[in-house]
């Protein structure tokens, strides 16, 4: 299961540098698979869309920080617990029920992101 940021986010920015996968972006900023990963060339997103790793993709939120589930591994393979949730002062980094992934799937995602 990926982590998502709720609209209670106060835009403090504390979570962004803590993410080992560069999955967190400031509201309104476009994201890309290649940011902070080793992903290159064509890449298939979780919704089946095919993109280029360097392609800038429309932001998921405009007014608060957001997490792209395509890059969130719940910190598996790096840390004992989700780092964004650990540092967030208002506890607005919560499980995203849309994405039910096993630990094995999250570790496979981490390997895909950091070959």
β-pair partners for 57: 31
Least separation in angstroms between residue 111's CB and ligand SF4 is 14
Least separation in angstroms between residue 31's CB and ligand SF4 is 12
Least separation in angstroms between residue 95's CB and ligand SF4 is 10
Which residues would be at the binding site for ligand SF4 (CB under 6 A)? 3, 5, 9-15, 18-21, 23-24, 65, 67, 72-75, 82-84, 87-90, 92-93
Spatial separation of the C-alpha atoms in residues 91 and 30, rounded to whole Å: 24
**C-beta neighbour count of 102 within 10 angstroms:** 10
Least separation in angstroms between residue 16's CB and ligand SF4 is 7
Q: How many CA atoms lie within 13 A of 45 on its CB side?
A: 16
Whose Cβ is closer to ligand SF4: residue 36's or residue 55's?
36
Instruction: Name the residue among 88, 91, 49, 42 with its Cα closest to residue 69.
Output: 49
């Amino acid at each position: 299961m990926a982590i998502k940021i709720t609209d209670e986010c106060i835009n403090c920015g504390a979570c962004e540098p803590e993410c080992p996968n560069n999955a967190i972006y400031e509201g309104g900023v476009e994201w890309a698979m290649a940011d902070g990963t080793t992903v290159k060339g064509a890449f298939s997103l979780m919704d089946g869309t095919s993109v280029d790793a360097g392609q800038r993709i429309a932001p998921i939120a405009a007014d608060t920080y957001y997490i792209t589930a395509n890059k969130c591994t719940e910190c598996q393979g790096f840390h004992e617990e989700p780092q964004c949730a650990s540092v967030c002062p208002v506890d607005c980094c919560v499980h995203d029920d849309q994405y039910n992934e096993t630990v094995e799937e999250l570790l496979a995602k981490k390997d895909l992101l950091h070959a």
